[in-house]
Structure 1
Amino acid sequence: MCTVRVGSRSLPLYPLVIVCLGVLNTILMLTAVVIGIYSLKKELMSHKELKLQLEQNKTASDGLQRQVEMLQLQRATVLADTAQIRESCGRCQHGWFLFKTSCYFHSKSLPTVTKNWPDSRADCVNRGADLIVIDNQEEQVEYVNNNKFVSEIIESIRHERNVWESGYWIGLTDTVTEATWIWINNVTEVEQRYWMDGEPNNHGHMGEDCGIAVYSATNPWKTRYDANCQQKQSHWLCEMKSS
């Protein structure tokens, strides 16, 4: 048997070799474990950094998308306003737009102002006009076709949460005789089909005696409902004959 001399003693060689190999193997295993843990931690850090980068990229992308949508909306509004100015030039006052033979002023140019029905009408009268009147079937057809244009502008600038708040005052009221709706030019409204389902309903203890119009994508004929005349609205529409 091979031996190795350690000091004054002779020890078998093989057991010593086995012990050394075992110690070496343990060291190698510990080294591998340490390297593995380090690599795993590094991989996790890289994963977190990548995830964070993706989230930041998504946030930036969403922000750019919103900016693009806003720019598209602003472009559409500018084009519409440009068309109105070009078409209305010489026939309507500045800030008004021409449709058929009438000029219209929309309160969108007064974004922070709210008015009840009487004050909205007074604003129109002060401008030499009055609230819009739609008093015959032909004009209703024209109004329906134009309504989408007007209401899309309302939709683009409004901050209200529901359709009721986004409506605009029109020159229609039943303040003289309940349920007999009269336009401000003294023409009686006889067409029920222009009212939204369930309207007019004179809701509430104070009643609802003034007309409001909205844009309806599902049924452009049903565009009206009744509201309390003292209710404040951000929108109203003035009308006058063009020059």
Structure 2
Amino acid sequence: MISATPSCPRGWTSYGGSCYVIIQKYLDWFEGKIACETVGGSLAEIETAGENKFLTDLLNRGKGGFASSAAPTIPRMWIGLYDFIVELDFVWVSTRYEPDVTHWASGEPNNNGDEDCGELEYTGFWNDEDCERKIWTACEMELRHEIYY
């Protein structure tokens, strides 16, 4: 039996014990969730400041490094947060627990116009957003440990 070094699928990027990919198609939160599941992952769930920075950098590289609030479309992507059960009580989609570490922008979450889903913006801050907004999606999966016989 030979055990290979843990690796990510082609097109995914590793950080910590996970693999990440940004789906660069404009999807609503529900479509993004399904897209992540279709490629073998789930919506990204940010557990540390380092992971938040990593995903922010990945987002900004995907937009060619562009990070300006003057842009007509601000780079942003869905993450696995929602508050469908209790308004303004955001939880992770996989565990239904509140995040241990948060990176909300000033004044967020604010439920401005029925915003129930969480997004990560190019600034590294989180925002609550209308789940039907079409933006990119961050997906995460555990590193794969392949064993060969």
Give TM-score scaled by structure 2 length: 0.80
Partner of residue 144, structure 1: 52
Read off the aligned partner of 1:133 and give its amino acid letter.
E
Read off the aligned partner of 1:211 and give its amino acid letter.
G
Verify: 1:104 aligned to 2:12, yes or no. Answer: no
Partner of residue 21, structure 1: none
Partner of residue 226, structure 1: 128
Partner of residue 132, structure 1: 44
Read off the aligned partner of 2:118 and give its amino acid letter.
G
Any stretches of 5+ residues in structure 1 without a counterpart?
Answer: 1-88
Partner of residue 174, structure 1: 83
Verify: 1:92 aligned to 2:8, yes or no. Answer: yes
Deviation at 1:215, TM superposition (A): 2.7
8 Å contact kept, 1:163–1:214:
no
8 Å contact kept, 2:60–2:75:
no
CA change 1:157–1:145 in 2 (3 A) is closer
CA change 1:174–1:187 in 2 (3 A) is same
Any stretches of 5+ residues in structure 2 without a counterpart?
Answer: 145-149
Read off the aligned partner of 1:146 and give its amino acid letter.
F
CA change 1:198–1:141 in 2 (3 A) is same
1:236 to 134, 137, 147: 137
8 Å contact kept, 2:104–2:127:
yes
Deviation at 1:182, TM superposition (A): 0.7
The Cα offsets for residues 45-77 of structure 1, whole Å up to 9 and x where unpaired, read as xxxxxxxxxxxxxxxxxxxxxxxxxxxxxxxxx
8 Å contact kept, 1:209–1:227:
yes
CA change 1:150–1:199 in 2 (3 A) is same
Structure with the larger helix share = 1
CA change 1:124–1:189 in 2 (3 A) is same
Matches within 5 A, 1:205-216: 207-216=114-123
The count of corresponding residues between Structure 1 and Structure 2 is 138
Which segments of structure 1 move beyond 4 Å, counting only runs of 4 or more?
none
**CA–CA distance in structure 2, aligned partners of residues 224 and 130 of structure 1:** 18
Choose 1 or 2 for highest CA Rg. 1
Give TM-score scaled by structure 1 length: 0.51
Partner of residue 189, structure 1: 99
**CA–CA distance in structure 2, aligned partners of residues 164 and 226 of structure 1:** 17
Structure with the larger strand share = 2
Read off the aligned partner of 2:137 and give its amino acid letter.
W
8 Å contact kept, 2:74–2:121:
no
**CA–CA distance in structure 1, aligned partners of residues 87 and 119 of structure 2:** 16
8 Å contact kept, 2:76–2:119:
yes
| Structure with greater contact order relative to length (CA < 8 Å, sep ≥ 6) | 2
Deviation at 1:95, TM superposition (A): 1.1
